[in-house]
Structure 1
Amino acid sequence: MEMVSPSNRLELLFDDILYVGHAKKEHLLMCAVFEKIVGHSDAVLQIGELLLEAFQSEDARYDFVERLCQSLPEANLQAVEDDLKRLSPEELHRFALTGESDLPVMTLPVPNLMFTRDLAAVVHDRIIMSHAATSARTRESIIIHVVLHHHPRFEDVQDNIIKLPKGVTFEGGDLLVASPETVLIGHSERTSFGAIMAIAHELFEHTPVEHVLAVDLPKIRAMMHLDTVFTFASPDECVVFPPVIENDSFGYCVHLTASGTEGKFVTDMRLSFRSALEELLEREITFVKCGGGERLQQEREQWTDGANVFTVGPGAIIGYERNRRTFEGLRDRGYRVVKAESFLSYFEDSDYTPGAEKLAIQLAGTELSRGRGGPRCMTLPIARTTS
């Protein structure tokens, strides 16, 4: 993150430069909240640590280097491919994250790795690999490939990894699991309709999913993924950015269901995302407005990820404190709003019981929000339980 500069920030997909020391403290605080709610210290895995552990295997290092050379031919890494393969696990780890090494070659860093949500998506027992839409994030797709295929933690799920065909793009921020039978996927700046079709085919074939809603989004950076304008706070409550989600000009969707014939779907156009969602979930959904009722405040708080809340556990969600009007809407829905520090202090000597009350936790996020991604963007859940 410290390698993002005014001259390369746009190439690295950043609108601003973070004060890294403060951003790190905010990130660690967020992780501490996750660990308290989940209930054990191993609740949070760091992608950088997983990659270094995977690189202890020579096969993993070779796989990473070969895929990197193939994926970024313009970087001319083939000229030092053998040298890259001879790097130690620590040296290759440094190169993978920063682009720096003692070799006569340098590539850009991968600061977007903080947004782990986009690397993959887990639906039931399947892991859908990302296909990054931008070259700035290509190396991240290779990193998650190496972790999933070479780290011992994921040895038992090798047969459950879904690899998408070439030519399509998909990032995990566009996929939301609405119910065991229903998945939502944004047709966005970063996810192509071809990827949605490929994902739907795999889910219909291998999981209990029966419905995929492809939600049309404006193809602009401000709303790059579905979870920048729509997230679940509870099974029947969602935080939404009204100008997109409640606007029929943008909010139409395509409903995909299996046809009974392999590789073919039944598709129908829906002009109202909300009515389609309520029909499939068979219940009414309350839309909590990101930014409240005023258009200007909705745009301001969507820009700072007011609609990007993350449900850590039953009745417990987390978002950025600066989105005040969004939290006011949640309070009106019966959520008790608390700061992350107060939450951890209160439960310092006791366990937290998810579901005991509706809790909206405020993370300061003054620096993290400059990266244009909220708590949901910075998480990739790999296991969920209802127990």
Structure 2
Amino acid sequence: MVDEKGINVYSEIGRLRRVILHRPGPELDNLTPINMKRLLFDDIPDYVAASKEHDQFAQVLREAGAEILYTHDLVAEVLADREVRRLFLEDFLREARAFQPSIPRVRDYLMEMEDLEKLTWLLIAGMRREDYPFNGSQLDKLDRANPLLFDPMPNFYYTRDPMSTIGRGLSVNCMWADTRRRESLFTHYAMVYHPFFRDTPRYFGRDENATLEGADVLVLSKEVLAVGVSQRTETSAVKMLARRVLEAKDRFRHVLVFFIPERRAFMHLDTVFTMVDRDIFTVHPEIEGPLEIFDISLGKDGNLDVKNMGNHLETILKKYLGLSEVELIRCGGQSK
């Protein structure tokens, strides 16, 4: 959530006052059997059904008192500045791997779109060749098997992955898959140029040389941050994040590092471990055996201290969260 003083997130379960969402849109219509595997999908979702389900979810949040911000609205506001728009489009088209010789002309066409909300939706959805007025050269005939000038961003509704809010700061994450890098580009420009976030401390950037995704970051308490080393988050990224968070002199004193199996089924920490109340957690039983947990803290000499805490999850949670009892709800498999 964001208050008048900026981001203020010290809990996974506290009252949600403001949240950033993305409503599934026409990007799902541009998923095809040819591109869906490359875009990390095993099947093609129903765009209409996904939109309706999202609207129901968003309404539940509103009724609970949360203000909803949409990523495309934040970015559209930022793109009102023409110089920011130019920089953004150049970065976007390069990372979208648009045909290099066509980039200047496509950029100029997008620059002149007056409806900035329509522009942001177009960038998210992917641009069909039939909708581009300058399509039709002799060379364009070679692209008949690919109807898009650049790919859609169908994973964009996983808004937790490209950005993490941590205490009073945030992390703009370095995504594991190249096809998802543009998601963090949207986040980066919103965080840098939007007045909501302009002065917010940033603990991690999208161009770091190690991958970090937000679903591996859980804020367990005002003093304890949990980060997963998973298929999509690397150890070196966790070390960088831990040092910056602990040295920021925010309230955090411990970063608990969860080593989970690097399998797609266990893609992120929040896939297999989730806080649902102050002393209640869900956990996938298949991670409990191979699980290793380390504690990173800041020593008196300013160096990071690392302790191997083993894998007894219940004991570790009670120790670091100051709880007398912890309930672990094992999910998956034979769970009822």
Q: TM-score, normalised by structure 1?
A: 0.69
> Which of 53, 57, 60 is the aligned partner of 2:84?
60
Structure-2 residue corresponding to 1:49: 73
Q: What amino acid maps onto 1:287 in structure 2? A: L
Q: Secondary structure at the match of 1:208?
A: coil
Rounded to whole Å, the distance in 2 between the matches of 1:228 and 1:87 is 42
In structure 2, the gaps of 5 or more residues are 1-27, 136-147
- Matching residue within 29, 32, 35 for 1:5: 32
**2:310 is matched with which residue: 268, 271, 287?**
271
Q: Structure 1, residues 330-382: CA drift from partner, whole Å, max 9, x if none?
A: xxxxxxxxxxxxxxxxxxxxxxxxxxxxxxxxxxxxxxxxxxxxxxxxxxxxx
Q: Identify the residue that residue 124 of structure 1 maps to in structure 2.
A: 167
Residues of 2 paired with 1:195 and 1:278: CA distance? Answer: 27
Q: CA 1:69–1:166 in 2, change beyond 3 Å: closer, same or farther?
A: farther
**C-alpha spacing 1:58/1:77, structure 2 compared with 1 (3 Å):** farther
Equivalent of residue 182 in structure 1, options 224, 227, 230: 224
Decide which of 13, 23, 26 is 2:53's aligned counterpart.
26
Provide the residue aligned with 1:197 in structure 2: 239
The SS at the match of 2:231 is coil
1:257 aligns with 2:310: no
- Tell me how many residue pairs correspond in the alignment: 285
CA distance in 1, matches of 2:91, 2:301: 35
Contact 2:72 2:117 in 1 (8 A): no
Matched-pair contact (CA < 8 Å) for 1:185–1:226: yes
2:124 paired residue number: 97
The residue type equivalent to 2:232 in the other structure is R
What is the aligned-residue RMSD (CA, Å)?
A: 2.1
Contact map agreement 2:29 2:47 (CA 8 A) in 1: yes
C-alpha contact (below 8 Å) 2:72/2:121 kept by paired residues = no
Find the counterpart in structure 1 of residue 15 from structure 2: none
Question: 2:212 touches 2:233 (CA, 8 Å); kept in 1?
Answer: yes
Distance 1:144 1:78 in 2: 27
Decide which of 288, 292, 297 is 2:329's aligned counterpart.
288
Distance 2:152 2:258 in 1: 32
Name the CA shift for 1:174/1:235 in 2 (closer, same or farther; >3 Å): same
1:276-322 deviation line (CA, Å, top 9, x unaligned): 2221112132111224xxx3x35xxxxxxxxxxxxxxxxxxxxxxxx
For residues 159 and 178 of structure 1, do their structure 2 counterparts lie closer, same or farther at Cα, with a shift above 3 Å needed?
Answer: closer
Which of 235, 242, 256 in structure 1 is aligned with 2:285?
242
Task: Measure how far apart 1:90 and its partner are.
Answer: 4.8
1:172 corresponds to which of 197, 214, 220: 214
1:35 to 62, 66, 91: 62
Q: CA deviation at 1:65?
A: 2.2
**Unaligned stretches of 5+ residues in structure 1:** 299-324, 326-387
Distance 2:221 2:193 in 1: 31
Preserved contact between residue 259 and residue 292 of structure 2 (Cα < 8 Å): yes
Higher RCO structure, 1 or 2 (CA under 8 Å, sep 6+): 1
In structure 2, the CA distance between the partners of 1:269 and 1:3, relative to structure 1 (3 Å rule), is same
Once the 2 structures are TM-superposed, how far is the Cα of residue 94 of structure 1 from its aligned partner?
A: 3.8
Shift of 1:205: 1.3
Q: How does 1:336-355 map to 2 (within 5 A)?
A: none
Question: How many Å separate the matches in 2 of 1:66 and 1:36?
Answer: 40
Return the alpha-carbon distance in structure 2 between the equivalents of residues 237 and 125 of structure 1. 25
Aligned residue among 98, 107, 111 for 1:84: 107
Q: Secondary structure at the match of 1:32?
A: helix
The correspondence for 2:252, drawn from 205, 209, 230, is 209
Deviations along 1:91-132, whole A, 9 cap, x unmatched?
642442023162657111001011001121111110111111
Query: Whole-Å Cα distance in 1 between the matches of residues 100 and 327 of structure 2?
Result: 51
**Is 1:138 equivalent to 2:181 in the alignment?**
yes
Residues 94 and 29 of structure 1: CA distance in aligned 2, closer, same or farther (over 3 Å) = closer
Identity %, equivalent residues: 27
* Native 8 Å contact 1:69 1:78 kept in 2: no
Using the size of structure 2 for normalisation, the TM-score is 0.78
